[in-house]
Structures are given as C-alpha cells and as structure tokens.
A and B are shown apart, each in its own frame.
Chain A
Amino acid sequence: MATDVVSRKPAKPARAQRKDGFERPFWERWTIPGKPGSTWFSRFTLPVISLAIFFTVWQLVGGRVDPILFTTPSKVVRALWTMITDGTLGPAFGVAMKDLAVGYVLAAAVGISVGILIGRSQVAERMLNPYINFFQATPLIALVPLVVIWFGVGFQARVVVVFILAVWSIIISTAAGVKQTPSSLIDVGRVYKYNRMQMVLGIELPNAVPNIFAGLRIALGKALIGMIIAQMEISLTGLGGLVVNYGNAFKTAYLLGSVFTASMVGVIAAVLLEVIRKWLFPWTEGANDRRR
C-alpha cells in the first residue's frame, strides 16, 4: 500500500505555474503574503498615482490663479523649507507638541481614573452622568473665554483647553470597558479571593484596555482641535499662531505649510499611540473577536 503511494507521480503544483506570471497581469506577481487579491501594486502604487494626479492638477491650476488667493504645491514646499531653515517652524512645532502632550496625558490620567470610578460604582455614575452628558453636548470651544478668565493667556490655559476637549470621550469609553467586564471573570476573582485592588487592576482595568485605546484615539482628534484653537485664540503661539499670522499676511503657501505641519503632529501622535498599544498590550491585537 505504501509503495503505491510513493510510486504515484506527485500532482502538478498548481502554485508553481501561477508564480511564473504568464496567466495574470504582471503586477499580480507581487501579491502580499497572506492577503490574496491584495498586491503591492494595488496597495501602494494606486495611492501614489492618485496623489500624483492631485498634485499635478493643483500645480497647474494654482499657477494660473492670483497668488494671494491660491498657491501651488511647489511654493508650499519652498515655504516649508524657508520656515525650517529660518527657525520659525521648529519652536512652533515644539510648543504645539508640548501643549498637546501635557493636556492629552493629563486628560488620559484623569479620564481613565474617573472612568474606572464610574464603571465600578453606580452611585458615582448616577452623580457624574449629568455633567458628562452636559459637557459632551456643549460645544466646548465656547468655553475658551472662560478659560482665559480663569487661567490667563499662557501655557496653562492652552493645556486646559486641550484637556477639557479630550477628557470626556476617555471617561466614557473607560467606564464602558470596566462595566463590560464579563461576570465570569468577576467570579474568577471572587473564587480566588482577589481583593478590591486586584479586582480593579488585575481584572477590570485590563478588560477595559481595548475600550480605553478606542477612547484615546477619539480623544486625540479632539485634543488636536483644542491645541490649534487654543494657539489661535488664546496665545497666538505654536502652529495655530503661525496659521493666523500667515493668514493675516495673505501668505497662503506658508499658511498651508503650517497646516501640513499640524497634521504631521496628529499623525505622529496617532502612530505613537498605536506603537504604545502594540508594545505594552500585545494581547489586544484582534481583541474584538475574543470570546465574550
């Protein structure tokens, strides 16, 4: 019986024939491993083509319009380079990053703590919910004048604006995560005599980690808005200050360069957040399909 199997001619490997690429368009030769149907071509080349078309059209149209009203990508790049070399962009970028980081980290610390409190205690939830609902519904930018009255026009006030914009979604998602702790895990803690501290830090908080990061992502967008608004309305420093100044001077290319830098701040922060999540909480990868 065994010899029978050995003597049989091995079946033609179907993949080998496909690999030589004669049957398919040339770009499908570079399929991304583990992702059938998705090729390096479709994944990277198509976006690049799209961007190239966009910038070409912009360049052509921008060159024919009044330079006060509109600009071209090449001018934006030149403006960015000037801003970097003459030392206006660096400090502005630093101020922006600092405002964002301090306000956001404070919001995360307070938001997670309050979120745990609300998630655990029905009394705290009932008592704090009105405020959370109020601040969620209020356009918080309207509170900027009040922040100025209370905290002046400096660093503190900007941090407060970032904080009050970011903190609510962190509170809400943390509370939701803590509340969703499976009752079976609570039972495990009870059977093995977890104390209150262990229950919170060992079960409820880790269970909320995916929710907390979802909240942090939402809060990051809001914190960015808060940062720019604060720099435009309160102190006129940082990237927000640059945007206002160049806007008033009709330097459209420089304005767009500043906006582009601001969006880079957002991208850097988002990447940082994702790196932290993957580094500290590798188990959250695909955590949405975990059982209950």
Chain B
Amino acid sequence: MTDAVEMTRPDEKRAVAHPRTAAVITVEGVGKTYPPRKKKKKPNLVLEGVDLEVRQGEFVSLVGTSGCGKTTLLRMMGGLTSYFPGEIHVKGKLVRGIPPRIGFVFQDSALMPWRSVWQNVKVGLNESRKNFTKQEIKDKVDATLELVGLIDYRDYLPRQISGGMQQRTGLARALVGEPDVLLMDEPFGALDALTRSRLQEELASIVLRTSATSVFVTHDVDEAVFLSDRVAVMSSVTKTIRQVVDIDVPRPRSMRTEMFADMHVADLRREVLDLVIGERDAAAAGTKTKTAN
C-alpha cells in the first residue's frame, strides 16, 4: 500500500484528465451485483450501467432514496468497493484500489478515538508525509484546523467534542492533503438541522477556495442544490443515474435562505425534488406489485 506513494511521479500529482472525455472522474457503464445469499435466489443488483463525468473543479451531488446505490457509487470512485462491469477513471487512471491523493469524508466521521483532533487531521497527510518536514506538516495541519475553525480544539479527543465538530475534523483530515478529488459520503447526515446548515455554508466557502473536484452523496435535496454545480438523481428502480440537473447559479452563493428565495433556484429545487420523489413512488409501486404477485 505504501508503494502507491512512490508510484506517483511528480508530474502525475496534478489532476490528469481522462484522455477521451477530459473529465477528472469518468464513470462508464459501471455496475455491481452481489451474488445471491442462498442458492436459487436472485442475485442482488445494486448498480447497472452508470455513466457520469465530473470535470475539473466541479461539485457534483449524488441524490436518491435510500438503497439506490449512491454510497456504493461513491465508494467505487474512491476505490473502496470493487465494481464489475464497467470502468471508472479518476485523474486519467483506471480505478483498481485507492487512487492517489484523494480525500474522503465518511458518514460517521470515522475518527480514531485514541488520537486528538490534531493527530486525527494529521492522518490525512500520511500518504505524502515523506515530502514534508515536521514543521511543514505541523503548519499544514494547523492551517487546515484554522480553516474549519477547530484550532482551539486541537488537543481534544473526538469524544470530547460535538458531532458537528467531529464531522469538521473529518473534513479537515480530507482537506489537509490538498486532494485533487474530494469524495464525501453524507457527511452531515447525522447532524441536527442547525449545525447542518451552518456546515453546508462553511463547506461551500471551503470548496470554493480549494478548487478540488468534489462528489457529494446526500439524501437531502436542498443540501445538494445549495452545494452543487450539478445534481445527479439516482433511481432505485433502474439502479442507475436517472437524470443530471444543472444548478446554474453563480458562486459564491449566499446564505441558504437567501439562495432559495430566488425563483430560479426554487424551480431547480422543485425539479430535483420531483425527480427524487418520483423515484421513491416508483420504487414503492414496484415493491407493491412484487408483494401482490
């Protein structure tokens, strides 16, 4: 696993576009099927024929009802879950194993309880630690903690800080290595509404500054519309991306409340919401017919 660091030559460190599609992340015809639990049962189809391109610096959200495979797709991009058939390219390279220099924000923050906030963030520099001196590592971690507003809590243990702070620590850990690709798996899912909206605003401004290519998984339509350049609505019926909605609202975006007061944004939100709800109802209808049989 360490070899991945050496394998990355300096010229490859910057985001390399896919040769054909010129996108940082390219997903082509990707699917996944889990083998049946018992013999004679149907295999479990999770994803099928997914196509998606994420361009340099773009922020794309994956939205859908639970069980539509959005987290699975994100984990595939991060090399954490295998896929077959299809191809995923991240920075021009076929994903088999974890791509170099990515940041990943986990659903439950996934902090190590034995490390302080500062030490947890330092984990994010593990891959590139040989390129930096101790002082540089210290400065980077401090700067990132400053960015997420946790510099005063650097010596606290994860269990001593609130859930929102834990999630911010997880975000800092993903950002500290200055990744080209930032993958986020429902990072605000477990937070209360107020903390959530504040963190969304913070994330919007942070992403604007870092210009990382980001993929964000959520089931919250407002969150997706507020943060994204494009929103991909996934279907749990067809097990693929149903539609991608462009959120053509200029950045920097203001506070959430102000943004949603805009008629155009409200229309976009409505559009995405209709798609998601349509999928939910279709899925419900599908299960109903199944049970009827």
Contact = CB atoms under 8 A, between A and B. Distances in A.
Interface of A: 182, 184-185, 187-188, 190-196, 198, 202-203, 206-207, 209, 281, 283-284, 286-287, 289-292
A206 B113 CA distance: 9
B159 interface: yes
Interface string B95-130: 000101011101110101110000000011011000
A286 B110 CA distance: 18
14 contacts: A187-B104, A188-B104, A188-B106, A190-B98, A193-B2, A193-B5, A193-B98, A195-B2, A203-B112, A283-B113, A283-B159, A287-B113, A291-B159, A292-B108
Interface of B: 1-2, 4-5, 78-80, 98, 100, 102-104, 106-108, 110, 112-114, 123-124, 126-127, 157-159, 173, 177
Given A184-B107, A188-B106, 9 more contacts: A182-B110, A185-B110, A190-B1, A192-B127, A193-B126, A195-B2, A283-B157, A283-B159, A287-B113
Of residues A190, A287, A291, which shows the largest number of chain B Cβ atoms within 10 Å of its Cβ?
A291
Contact of A192 (B79, B80, B123, B158): B123
Of residues B113, B126, B158, which shows the largest number of chain A Cβ atoms within 10 Å of its Cβ?
B113
Nearest to A193: B127
Contacts of A192: 123-124, 126-127, 173, 177
Dominant SS at the A interface? helix
A193 B110 contact: no
Contacts of A196: 1
A281 B110 contact: no
Contacts of A202: 112
A191 B104 contact: yes
Contact of A187 (B106, B112, B173, B177): B106
B39 to A, nearest CB: 23
B112 A206 contact: yes
A239 B124 CA distance: 54
Contacts of A287: 113
A191 B80 contact: yes
Nearest to B78: A191
Contacts of B127: 192-193
Of residues A187, A191, A198, A283, which shows the largest number of chain B Cβ atoms within 10 Å of its Cβ?
A191
B113 A290 contact: yes
Nearest to A282: B157
A190 B80 contact: yes
Contacts of A182: 110
A191 B108 contact: no
B1 A283 contact: no
A188 B110 contact: yes
Contacts of B103: 191
A195 B173 CA distance: 18
Contacts of B2: 193, 195
Contacts of A185: 110, 112
Nearest to B183: A191
Given A190-B1, A195-B1, A290-B159, A184 B124 contact: no
A122 B151 CA distance: 42
